Amino acid sequence: GILDEIIVNIDGLIQDQYGNYVVQHVIQYGRPEDRLVVVQGVNANLLSMAQHKFASNVVEKCLQYGNQEQKTTIIDEVTKPSSLEPAKEGEETTSTLLIMIKDQYANYVIQKVIDLADQRQLENIMTELRAHLVQVKRCTYGKHILARMEKATGQKV
């Protein structure tokens, strides 16, 4: 059927200016098994999808309409702590979360993540934000993220 055609071309559709709407529709109204295929595809390339103008909307839809396990998988990927390796001379440590906060599209995904995260995930985000507070405050979208976190947790970052 038509959904099988969509699933076969999912990666291209997710990043297409019109195709992303088709994929969002599948996430919102499709069968659970089709939604799973989309969420798995998104999760496999989460960072690049979140940084893409059109695909970032699909990532947000996955967070909004995925089941609890699917949401948790995506949020855990975003909130995993940065590597414990010390930064090389002249470099700053980084993490998926930090990269996404600095991105013009991915920061919206982070805002959605904050709205949906459980206590453990919010604590991971808070730890990461506090560890890189200077960098976060310096970036354009950082203030939005900090305000969202303070609203979600009731505590100052």
Give the pLDDT of residue 5.
80
Give the pLDDT of residue 93.
61
Q: Across the chain, what does the average pLDDT equal?
A: 90
Residue from 157, 151, 74 nearest 110 by CA: 74
Residue 82 pLDDT grade (very low, low, confident, very high; cuts 50, 70, 90): low
Question: Which strand (E) or helix (H) includes residue 71?
Answer: helix 68-79
Summarize the confidence of residues 127-154 as an average pLDDT.
93
Q: Taking a C-beta distance cutoff of 8 angstroms, is the pair 87, 127 a contact?
A: no
CA atoms of 91 and 74, how far apart (whole Å): 27
pLDDT at 2 exceeding the cut of 70: yes
- Which residues have a Cβ under 8 Å from the Cβ of 126 and sit 6 or more positions away? 149, 153, 155, 157
pLDDT single digits (tens) 30-68:
889 989 999 999 999 999 999 999 999 999 999 999 999
pLDDT single digits (tens) 90-128:
556 678 999 999 999 999 999 999 999 999 999 999 999
The SS3 of residue 36 is: helix
pLDDT at 134 exceeding the cut of 70: yes
Model-level pTM?
0.88
Please report, for residues 17, 67, 92, 138, 150, the alpha-carbon distance to residue 70 in angstroms, rounded to integers and kept in the order given: 24, 5, 31, 32, 25
Give the pLDDT of residue 84.
53
Give the pLDDT of residue 88.
58
CA atoms of 18 and 100, how far apart (whole Å): 24
Tokens of 9: 């071309």
Give me the residue label for tokens 């934000």: 129
